[in-house]
């Protein structure tokens, strides 16, 4: 027996509409999906100053540990090559949100990771 007609909630209908309107397939086969925000992006606040402070702290750690810098740079390069991040021009006119992050290196592991906050 076929299931009865699925009744979607208003939120589910809005999600499906957003998905259909803001999802596209890129030339390389990956999908691009715009993040659904319940409030305007301005509600995210100013992340530039905190991100810059975290960057300066990270650079200080790099001066103390060249190995950390090397592993971090390799990780970020791979992330960029995979298309997970891009270099941002902070002079651009549209609003931008900067993701604060820091490097986590486990001495017992060969891999590195970045923690986003």
3-state secondary structure of 44: helix
pTM of the entire structure?
0.58
Q: Is residue 90 part of a domain?
A: yes
Instruction: Say how many Å lie between the first and final Cα of the chain, rounded.
Output: 48
pLDDT of residue 115: 60
**Could you list the residue range(s) of the whole structural domain that residue 72 is in?**
40-116
User: Is 45 within a domain?
Assistant: yes
Residue 56 located in a structural domain = yes
Question: What is the number of structural domains in the chain?
Answer: 1
Instruction: Kindly report, residue by residue over 86-101, the tens digit of the pLDDT.
Output: 777 767 667 777 877 7
Residue 109 lies in a domain: yes
Scored b (16 or more CB within 10 A) or e, 18-39 reads eeeeeeeeeeeeeeeeeeeeee
Q: What tens digit of pLDDT does each residue of 47-89 get?
A: 888 888 988 998 999 999 998 899 888 888 988 898 878 777 7
DSSP of 65-76, one letter per residue? -HHHHHHHHHHH
3-47 tens-digit pLDDT: 677 888 999 998 899 999 999 988 888 888 888 877 887 788 888
């Amino acid at each position: 027996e076929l299931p009865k007609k699925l009744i979607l909630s208003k939120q589910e209908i809005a999600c499906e509409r957003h998905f259909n309107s803001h999802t596209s397939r890129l030339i390389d086969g990956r999908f691009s999906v715009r993040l659904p925000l319940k409030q305007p992006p301005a509600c995210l606040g100013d992340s530039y100053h905190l991100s810059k402070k975290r960057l300066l702290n990270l650079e200080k750690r790099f001066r103390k540990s060249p190995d950390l810098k090397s592993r971090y740079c390799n990780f970020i390069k791979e992330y960029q090559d995979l298309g997970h991040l891009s270099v941002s021009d902070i002079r651009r006119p549209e609003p931008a949100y900067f993701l604060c992050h820091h490097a986590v290196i486990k001495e017992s592991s060969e891999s590195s990771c970045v923690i986003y906050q």
